[in-house]
A and B are shown apart, each in its own frame.
Chain A
Amino acid sequence: MTQQETELIISAQKGNITAFEQLIYNYDKKVLSLALKYVRNEEDARDIYQDVFIRVFKGLKNFQFKSEFSTWLYRIVTNVCLTHKTNIKKREFISIHPDEEQEENENMKQGFEIVDDKPAPDRITDSSEISEHINQALESLPARQKMIFILKHYEGYKLKEIAEILKCGEGTIKKYLFEAVRKMRTQLEDLYYA
């Protein structure tokens, strides 16, 4: 954390909105970008953006410099993303509870069926089509796996950093990530492994 950032945080903790804005403008583009990658629609991403920074504003007085500000901020971002209810009514329920998630996984293993309405592999040529199929595969992942996958693949975080953000062990993150990769591969294999 730089000296300037520390000063901005202290000033923002005292209620200085200008300092708060200056502080978050170093991160807000990345926050919006992460939200957009997670929900894949602008309206929900903007809702997440608002929710995150209002929470940061209200909670900043409790920030005790025990971690990097960015880690603390992204912890809030991931929590808001994981609990966000979409306006588009696409996801009905998102579990952030590991037990429920496990149950969700089991259900998926047993009962998940992919409706074969995808185009034939030789037709998948443009990037928007690729993106659509990857999006579908991502949507099928449980919330935590999806978030970890996005942080690693699209945002380029190291496993250690993701573990700090999500407050769990590196081994757990690895487990989630590799499970996500396996599922993505299963989802996409008709298209790419023919």
Chain B
Amino acid sequence: MNHKKYKILIDEYFFGDINNAEKNELEEHLKNCALCRSEFNSTKVLHEALLKDKLPDPDENILTEARKELRISLRAEKMKLSLWKRISGKFSSSFFLTPQLAAAAFSFLIIGLIIGYFVFNSPGTVHYSLENIQQQNGNTEAMLSDDMKINNIRFINKNSVDGTVDFTFDAVKPVHIKGKINDPEIQSILTYSMLNEDNPGTRLNTISLINSSSQPQQDNDIKNALLSVIKFDNNQGVRWEAMKLLNKFKFDDQIKKTLLYVLQNDSSSGMRIEAMNKLVEASKSGSSFDRDDLSVLRQKGEQDDNNYIRYQAKTVLKEYK
């Protein structure tokens, strides 16, 4: 008798992957075969035990937290991509402007590669002789001036017989950039800082710096970064500063959706009030609200903890009746 076949049918039976003909065949076989009946009963016990092991769905809070983290990661990821696009776009547009320019760039590349071959002999670490350093920096004292920080000295050979020492170190030099606030390069760095700096003070200062410019803002990357900060930055002060900077941008649908998001999700009533004020202002200036927007306002008009927000939400809604 083919017990192996019935063993498979027993497994299929318990996993619900058996058709009626096979089921009847198995049942018939079990009546006459003690061995398979025992197998069937053992498998049944296992499946009954497994059925008791009901794993609950994940808690809503875990899902909300996971979504929050993901939103930040996605925006950072997109920002990285758009920065890269901008940089590569600059290069590609320069290269393909004219054949002469492309030829010149190619020559520079070749010269660069030749120089690089002679200067560097391992990726990541620059190897200098004492003469190199003196030639480049005047003398070693000049190199160790106030700006340059030397750290992480690693000795490669300190027991040299002929008196030569060999070591590596990291020389970190602060970079000073001066330019107009609307320069694309400056804006790229500020956008990066706004989204990626760990220190909330630096993020705050970055936004304040952009805010200090008297000119209206138009850069799309800055705007997207700002809207991400308003929605997802975990520091309320940073979110607040970003909200203030929003005044420099022309009101549009993206800004409206962000304000509605703040109205729905921000735990700070100050942020929600500011978002509400901006929406009221936009409504007075003729911005339109679609059905979804109105539904958010309706919900806030009825349920928000704050009286002012409830009142203002109802005020906007009145205009749409």
Contacts and interface: CB of A to CB of B under 8 A. Distances in A.
Contacts of A15: 78, 81
A158 B17 CA distance: 8
A184 B58 CA distance: 25
Interface in B203-239: none
Given A130-B52, A134-B49, A46 B73 contact: no
B54 interface: yes
Contact of B52 (A36, A127, A154, A158): A127
B78 A185 contact: no
A82 interface: no
A74 interface: no
B58 A57 contact: no
Interface string B68-106: 011101110110010000000000000000000000000
B55 interface: yes
Contacts of B8: 174, 178
Interface in A144-159: 152-154, 158-159
A188 interface: yes
A189 B78 CA distance: 52
Contacts of B53: 127, 130-131, 134
A192 B57 contact: no
Q: What is the interface of chain A mostly: helix, strand, loop, or mixed? A: helix
Interface in A1-35: 15, 17-18, 20-21, 25, 28-29, 32-33
B62 A21 contact: no
Nearest to A30: B57
Contact of B15 (A49, A152, A185): A152
Nearest to A154: B55
A129 to B, nearest CB: 10
Contacts of A177: 11, 15
Interface in B12-71: 12, 15, 17, 42-43, 45-46, 49-50, 52-55, 57-58, 62-63, 65-67, 69-71
Contact of B49 (A49, A54, A130, A154): A130
Given A134-B50, A193-B45, 13 more contacts: A20-B74, A28-B67, A33-B58, A36-B58, A45-B58, A50-B66, A50-B69, A53-B70, A130-B53, A153-B15, A184-B46, A185-B42, A185-B43
The 7 closest A-B pairs by CB, nearest first: A134-B53, A178-B11, A49-B66, A32-B58, A131-B53, A192-B45, A185-B46
9 contacts: A17-B75, A18-B257, A42-B62, A50-B70, A130-B49, A134-B49, A178-B8, A192-B45, A193-B45
